[in-house]
Chains A and B, each alone.
Chain A
Amino acid sequence: MIFFESVDKFYGSHRCLTRITAHVAKGEVVVICGPSGSGKTTLIRTVNGLEPIRSGRIVVNGQDVHAPKADINRLRREIGFVFQQFNLFPHMTVLDNVSLAPRKLRGLPREQAEEEARALLARVGLAEKANVYPGQLSGGQSQRVAIARALAMSPPVILFDEPTSALDPEMVGEVLAVMRDLAGSGITMVCVTHEMGFAREVADRVWFMDSGVILEDASPEEFFVAPRHPRARRFLADLRHA
């Protein structure tokens, strides 16, 4: 579903992704973890072209995202993206946030788009918040709406960029519950997160990154029980002591 082929990225002279080659199969849930500054967020943002790359290829759903002729707007409709800071549209109701893309990009009539949006809101447990503005939601609720919005175009792939990092601890659970539910639905999921419990329970594979390189690509059992790379061992030990 997603192929990285020798992807390089630089910020100025700083090399932040180094020859990333990896593959996410259809329906797979991949969790990317690693210390901050390791390139996790940068990597996930290259998948839908929010970050340009220097060289290499990223193929999503058979289409080269960074090809000069790629219709990036069309490709992005097939790739849901959930931001750390939710980035809901504050001037629209929750319902409009979720139904905007289907209405304007898929040309659905308002009633149908809203019906679908309500179903998505029900799925993330926020049916009763449809007519509220984002300013009146808690962080956890906002992120659940953002997930519903990302799902509105029925993308086969959804990307999460540290979806729980901006939340108060007591709200992390509700967002993870939605993501867990989603992981069981057959959608392809790539998730940057520090929630190791979630990774262990839900991920099919864990990628451990450091300094712009994927050091380890393993099943959760392998990764958490017997990480091969010393840097990964140290990372997990630090997490346990935290």
Chain B
Amino acid sequence: MGYTLDFGAILSGEHLRWLISGLRLTLELTLSSWVLALVLGVILVLLRSSGIKPAEWFVTAYVEVHQNVPLLVQVLFWYFAVPELLPEAGRIWLNERNSEFLLVMLALSFCFAAYMSEALRSGMRAIPQTQHEAGRALGFGYLRTMQYVVIPQAARLAIPPLINYSLLLFKNTSLAMAIGVHELTTQTRQIENDTFRTFEAFTVSTVLYLMISFVIMAGGALLERRIKREGR
């Protein structure tokens, strides 16, 4: 065997620090995009079921665009094209800050909002109209009926697909590499360039990605089990 494995070069000193900072950025990106995607997803699904025709068309178009354009293209669009649309002051504001992180976070959030809204919508469609009626008959308005009656039930049904999309979102944070965000994949490449330990570098990042995926899946399974125990 002409090649001796040496993980020590990667898991020590400066390289370990790169790895850890990359991992941290990946997690931050995942979490912030996830929260924003979920909030946007809820807004989209409310708009879509609002009965206001133009709002419904908008959401349909929104979902189609975001589900059918490669995510990498969306990331590049946000990074290169969107700032062009901003007024001067906005561009300066972006350039003074960590705009790569912010823009890729927005790209991921806007894209996964589309997926999450679809997951929530299929959950909502499974809730009978009579549940909505029961809320309204008590004197709750449309939004509060949604809040207390329909969405909590729909969310339970939407949890399995939402977990899948969360996982997908996590994995796709690696696309941030394309615009130079120093997340885990970028850092892995950097370590590889620095050490020429290609196999070791990518093995370590593979294991890290897998571990976090497992944590997300296990969390999801736990959540599902807890919900099944209650009611229905």
- A interface residues, Cβ below 8 angstroms from B: 48, 50, 73-77, 81, 83, 85, 87-92, 100-101, 104-105, 133-135, 149-150, 153
The winner among A89, A104, A134, A153 for most chain B CB atoms within 10 A is A89
Given A83-B133, A83-B134, are A91 and B232 also a contact pair (CB < 8 Å)? yes
Q: Which of B197-225 contact A (CB under 8 A)?
A: none
- B131-142 vs A, CB cutoff 8 Å, 1 = contact: the mask equals 101111111110
The residue that A133 contacts in the complex, of B131, B138, B156, B230, with Cβ under 8 A, is B230
Chain B residue nearest to A86 in the complex (CB): B134
The residue that B148 contacts in the complex, of A48, A73, A104, with Cβ under 8 A, is A104
Check if B152 is an interface residue, CB within 8 A of chain A: yes
Q: At the interface, is chain B mostly helix, strand, loop or mixed?
A: helix
Cβ-defined contact, B148 with A100, below 8 A: yes
Please give the number of chain B residues whose Cβ is less than 8 angstroms from any Cβ of chain A in the complex: 20
Given A77-B139, A153-B139, are A104 and B144 also a contact pair (CB < 8 Å)? yes
Cβ-defined contact, B231 with A87, below 8 A: no
Cβ-defined contact, B137 with A85, below 8 A: no
Cβ-defined contact, B130 with A83, below 8 A: yes
Would you give the shortest CB distance from B211 to chain A, in whole angstroms?
33
- B interface residues, Cβ below 8 angstroms from A: 130-131, 133-141, 144, 148-149, 152-153, 156, 230-232
Cβ-defined contact, A134 with B137, below 8 A: no
Residues of A within 8 A of B141 (CB): 73
Residues of B within 8 A of A153 (CB): 138-139
The CA of A75 and the CA of B231, in the complex, are separated in Å by: 31
The CA of A135 and the CA of B228, in the complex, are separated in Å by: 12
Cβ-defined contact, A85 with B139, below 8 A: no
The residue that B231 contacts in the complex, of A48, A81, A135, with Cβ under 8 A, is A135
The residue that B140 contacts in the complex, of A83, A85, A105, with Cβ under 8 A, is A105
Would you give the shortest CB distance from B136 to chain A, in whole angstroms?
7
The winner among B131, B133, B148, B153 for most chain A CB atoms within 10 A is B148
The CA of A101 and the CA of B144, in the complex, are separated in Å by: 11
Residues of B within 8 A of A90 (CB): 153, 231-232
Chain A residue nearest to B231 in the complex (CB): A133
The residue that B139 contacts in the complex, of A76, A88, A134, with Cβ under 8 A, is A76
Cβ-defined contact, A87 with B144, below 8 A: no
Given A85-B130, A87-B131, A104-B148, are A48 and B137 also a contact pair (CB < 8 Å)? yes
Would you give the shortest CB distance from A137 to chain B, in whole angstroms?
11
Cβ-defined contact, B230 with A91, below 8 A: yes
Cβ-defined contact, B152 with A50, below 8 A: no
Cβ-defined contact, B130 with A81, below 8 A: no
Cβ-defined contact, A76 with B137, below 8 A: yes
Given A89-B131, A91-B153, are A81 and B232 also a contact pair (CB < 8 Å)? no
Would you give the shortest CB distance from A134 to chain B, in whole angstroms?
7
Residues of B within 8 A of A50 (CB): 133, 136-137
Chain A residue nearest to B152 in the complex (CB): A91
Residues of A within 8 A of B149 (CB): 89
The CA of A83 and the CA of B139, in the complex, are separated in Å by: 15
Residues of A within 8 A of B139 (CB): 73-77, 101, 105, 153
